[in-house]
């Protein structure tokens, strides 16, 4: 395994990030409906997950306002401070929740976001969804004001279509600002952005794709295929077609190849899946897997320390091509 992690640029900026960051939704402390997606993690476990992530080389963390109504942001800031980190040591991305709100709320709630993350600044502020009471144009104009007043450092979006992403980019360009990222769901089992214009537009405009659910909510590890009993306790995921018998059958060829390659590379299935994701499309993609166990954090960082051969990446591309629809 290689030990050297090559940093990559976040969009058209001078920010350098590791190909894998840590997604922090699971630190929500079950604080609201979104927070109840995950079990309650104790403070000590959260601290350990963040410590292992840092020691493994990860230099950025992604959280959001909606994750426990600020609980995830607070736990992230508290843990980083406990571990001796200070502003500038790491990069933090968070997100504003637009549903049932207008763009003016972006400015109205920014001090609350900064308070939750204190003493750390917001290195990347993202609009979490394209569904609010204001257009993406108004939202980007509000974001630009925050950047110009030094409340935030950079701007991104999440779950934006190709057309909305382009519109957001064009709006910011009027103020001389680059849109750096679009955070979307992407994995070997969810490749729709390759056919709906999102990936092509991101490449054209120099926008980084931040892949969330890069392990297809655990499905790509093969544990649910190997032990269907686990499907009884998967929370909201049980409503997804991917976890139904037909879905499991469809993904089995992908899982079988991932497991075979894990043996070849003396790694784990999740590391193979993450390694493919961060290398197959070049530097366009970065990933934010979560972690609810210390071992998950170790696996995440280990995925950056080797590289699948171009032939093996092509095989994975071929066997998962049915998931581009």
| 96 located within any domain | yes
Is residue 29 one of the residues assigned to a domain? yes
CA distance 60 to 188: 23
Instruction: Give the domain range for residue 208.
Output: 8-216+274-305
The pLDDT value recorded for residue 223 is 87
Catalytic residues: 67
**Helix (H, G, I), strand (E, B), or coil: what is residue 303?**
coil
Q: CA dist 93 to 96, 157, 225, Å?
A: 11, 11, 33
Distances (CA, A) of 255 to 101, 239, 269: 41, 20, 8
Whether 246 is covered by a domain: the verdict is no
The pLDDT value recorded for residue 31 is 65
Would residue 160 count as lying in a domain? yes
Q: Do the domain assignments include residue 231? A: no
DSSP-based three-state secondary structure for 60: strand
pLDDT computed for residue 207 by the predictor: 98
Give the number of domains in the chain: 1
List Cβ neighbours of 133 (8 Å cut-off, separation of 6 or more): 98, 100, 101, 102
Question: 179 in helix, strand or coil?
Answer: strand
Give dist(CA 316, CA 149) in Å, integer. Answer: 46
Question: Which residue do the tokens 């403070």 mark?
Answer: 43
Residue 136 lies in a domain: yes
61: closest CA among 37, 29, 25, 97? 25
> What integer pLDDT is reported at residue 32 of this predicted model?
62
Question: Cα separation of 29 and 105, whole Å?
Answer: 24
Contact 142, 103 (CB under 8 A): yes
Number of H helices, E strands in the chain: 12, 10
Residue that is written with structure tokens 């992530």 in the block: 53
pLDDT reported for residue 1: 46
Query: In this predicted structure, what is the pLDDT of residue 247?
Result: 80
CATH of the domain at 176: 3.20.20.100
CA 93 to chain centroid: 10
Does 196 map to a domain? yes
Coil, helix or strand for 157?
strand
Q: Which residues contact 7 (CB under 8 A, 6 or more apart)?
A: 16, 17, 18, 59
pLDDT of residue 190: 97
Q: Is residue 60 part of a domain?
A: yes
Distance, CA of 64 to chain centre: 11
Alpha helix (H) residue ranges in 266-323: 269-280, 294-302, 310-319
Element (H, E) at 46: helix 43-55
pLDDT value of residue 25:
87
Q: What is the DSSP letter of 14?
A: S
Alpha-carbon distance of 27 to 64, in angstroms, equals 10
pLDDT tens-digit map of 3-25: 579 999 999 999 999 999 999 98
Segments in the chain below pLDDT 70: 1-3, 29, 31-39, 233-239
């Amino acid at each position: 395994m290689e030990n050297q992690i090559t940093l990559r640029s976040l969009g058209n900026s001078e920010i350098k990030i590791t190909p894998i960051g840590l997604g922090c939704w699971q630190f929500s402390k079950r604080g609201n409906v979104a927070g109840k997606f995950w079990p309650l993690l104790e403070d000590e476990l959260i601290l350990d997950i963040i410590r292992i992530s840092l020691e493994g080389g990860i230099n950025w963390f992604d959280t959001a306002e909606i994750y426990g109504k600020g609980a995830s942001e607070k736990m992230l800031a508290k843990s980083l401070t406990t571990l001796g980190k200070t502003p500038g040591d790491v990069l933090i991305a968070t997100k504003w929740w637009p549903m049932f709100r207008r763009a003016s709320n972006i400015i109205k709630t920014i001090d609350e976001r900064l308070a939750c993350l204190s003493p750390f600044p917001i290195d990347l502020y993202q609009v979490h969804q394209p569904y609010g009471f204001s257009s993406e144009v108004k939202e980007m104009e509000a974001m630009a004001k925050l950047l110009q007043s030094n409340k935030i450092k950079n701007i991104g979006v999440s779950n934006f279509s190709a057309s909305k992403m382009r519109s957001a980019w064009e709006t910011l360009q009027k103020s001389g600002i680059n849109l750096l990222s679009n955070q979307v769901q992407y994995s070997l089992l969810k490749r729709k952005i390759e056919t709906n214009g999102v990936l092509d537009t991101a490449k054209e405009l120099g926008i980084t794709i931040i892949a969330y659910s890069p392990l297809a909510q655990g499905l790509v590890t093969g544990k649910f295929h190997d032990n269907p009993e686990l499907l009884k306790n998967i929370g909201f995921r049980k409503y997804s077609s991917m976890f139904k018998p037909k879905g499991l059958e469809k993904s089995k060829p992908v899982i079988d190849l991932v497991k075979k390659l894990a043996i070849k590379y003396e790694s784990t299935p999740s590391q193979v899946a993450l390694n493919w994701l961060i290398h197959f499309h070049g530097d366009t993609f970065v990933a934010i897997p979560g972690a609810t166990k210390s071992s998950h954090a170790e696996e995440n960082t280990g995925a950056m320390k080797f590289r699948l051969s171009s032939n093996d990446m092509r095989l994975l591309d071929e066997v998962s091509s049915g998931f581009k629809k």
